[in-house]
Amino acid sequence: MRTHFLRYADAVLRRGASSSQFFPRAFSSGSFPERKVTILGAAGGIGQPLSLLMKLNPLVSNLSLYDIAGTPGVAADVSHINTRAEVEGYAGDDQLGKALDGSDVVIIPAGVPRKPGMTRDDLFNINAGIVKSLATAIAKYCPNALVNMISNPVNSTVPIAAEVFKKAGTFDEKRLFGVTTLDVVRAKTFYAAKAKVPVEDVNVSVVGGHAGITILPLFSQATPPSNSLSHEDIKALTKRTQDGGTEVVEAKAGKGSATLSMAYAGAVFADACLKGLNGVSDIVECSFVQSNVTELPFFASKVRLGKNGVEEVLGLGPLSDFEKQGLENLKPELKASIEKGIKFAREN
């Protein structure tokens, strides 16, 4: 039964992978290098299913689960799954260093989620401080790790982490990622349903940032292309992708925001990072990174991942007039969110 479930999960996850197979089975896990993945916020709504998915990933040899409380239980539970990763649970500030020590990839879903009526920026006051203290610990205990930032508002938390790392002298723009994979996951799902194409064949880039109109899906470049979608259809798909998080927040009616789809998206992105570290070629995902693609210092676009993290930040490609307008519209909000994060990190 359990084997059957694992095969099923594996098949589902593989089908969802974009640029490459999610869980490679070409080699036994013994062929993969040792990789330690740490999840900060592992006892939360995202953290728990993400811990499960990372335990299923044969690229992970050590899975370190950290939260302010509750992690021993999550770790004990997940550790019974008969896959490669050795699991350790850590709880509380005094165990943070041990949790982070030797990490190759650190995934951060720590912080409060939205309730109906809130914007992601409304989370800034609480999450900015959490991210700043966690980034300070990363700079101290695992300065070479790839950091996958999930905590919102991503448009500000990534610049906060960058400032912390700069101050500590450990900043490497190749190693800091805002996780925008859920926007891509949504864009693919919504496009496939509307264009009536198999969802596993769909690829859509989503650029800009991760909040409201800063989320800009590039449906003009979607593959397979669709001739059947009208301009109105594209506008509606764009709006639904931009409002995808709010759709979940409202449906959960006060019980938080996306957790399961985010755990999936976070696992896809972390898997891509691990494959890049392991030297697998041509791993491309969208992510919010330090960027020269526009005049903004951080921007989400396709990035090629490799042994050092970001190998190449890819350009936007040809945009439709609607997307060109969307790009200009998003810049003031994204700029303000980036500057807010930088200011916070410099003043606190």
Ligand X SMILES: NC(=O)c1ccc[n+]([C@@H]2O[C@H](COP(=O)([O-])OP(=O)(O)OC[C@H]3O[C@@H](n4cnc5c(N)ncnc54)[C@H](O)[C@@H]3O)[C@@H](O)[C@H]2O)c1
How near is the Cβ of 290 to ligand X at its closest, in Å? Answer: 17
Rounded distance between C-alpha atoms, residue 34 and residue 40, angstroms? 20
Active site residue 231: no
Of 13, 60, 74, 110, the one binding ligand X (CB under 6 A) is: 110
Of 38, 64, 152, 238, the one binding ligand LMR (CB under 6 A) is: 152
Of 17, 52, 68, 118, the one binding ligand X (CB under 6 A) is: 68
114 binds ligand LMR (CB under 6 A): yes
Comparing CA positions, the residue from 111, 100, 114, 91 lying closest to residue 147 is: 100
Whether 96 contacts 66, CB under 8 Å: yes
256 binds ligand X (CB under 6 A): yes
Whether 166 contacts 139, CB under 8 Å: no
List, as one string, the DSSP characters of 70-131: SHHHHHHHHHTS-SS-EEEEEESGGGHHHHHTT-SEEEE--SPPP-TT--GGGGHHHHHHHH
43 binds ligand X (CB under 6 A): yes
Query: In sequence order, which residues have a C-beta less than 8 Å from that of residue 307 and are 6 or more positions away?
Result: 276, 277, 279
Whether 147 contacts 108, CB under 8 Å: yes
CA dihedral 106, 112, 113, 118 (to 10 degrees): -140
Of 32, 35, 38, 47, the one binding ligand X (CB under 6 A) is: 47
182 binds ligand LMR (CB under 6 A): yes
How near is the Cβ of 108 to ligand X at its closest, in Å? Answer: 8
CA dihedral 84, 86, 91, 93 (to 10 degrees): -110
How near is the Cβ of 265 to ligand X at its closest, in Å? Answer: 6
Phi-psi category of residue 202: left, alpha or beta, with phi > 0 → left and psi -120 to 50 → alpha: beta
Of 36, 210, 302, 335, the one binding ligand X (CB under 6 A) is: 210
Rounded distance between C-alpha atoms, residue 129 and residue 135, angstroms? 10
Q: Which does 248 bind (CB under 5 to 8 A by kind): ligand LMR, ligand X, none?
A: ligand LMR
How near is the Cβ of 306 to ligand LMR at its closest, in Å? Answer: 27
- The size of the interface with ligand LMR (CB under 6 A), counted in residues, is 11
72 binds ligand X (CB under 6 A): no
188 binds ligand LMR (CB under 6 A): no
Q: How far is CA 85 from CA 9, 37, 94, 291, 337, in A?
A: 17, 9, 24, 34, 37
Residue ranges in 309-348 that form contacts with ligand X under rule CB under 6 A: none
Instruction: Tally Cβ neighbours within 10 Å of residue 168.
Output: 14
Residues with active-site annotation: 210
Q: Binding site membership: which residues?
A: 41-47, 67, 114, 120, 127, 150-152, 186, 262
Q: Binding site membership for substrate: which residues?
A: 114, 120, 152, 186
Binding residues vs ligand X (CB under 6 A) = 40-41, 43-47, 67-68, 109-114, 123, 127, 130, 134, 150-152, 154, 179, 182, 210, 256-259, 262
Binding residues vs ligand LMR (CB under 6 A) = 113-114, 120, 152, 182, 244-245, 248-249, 257-258
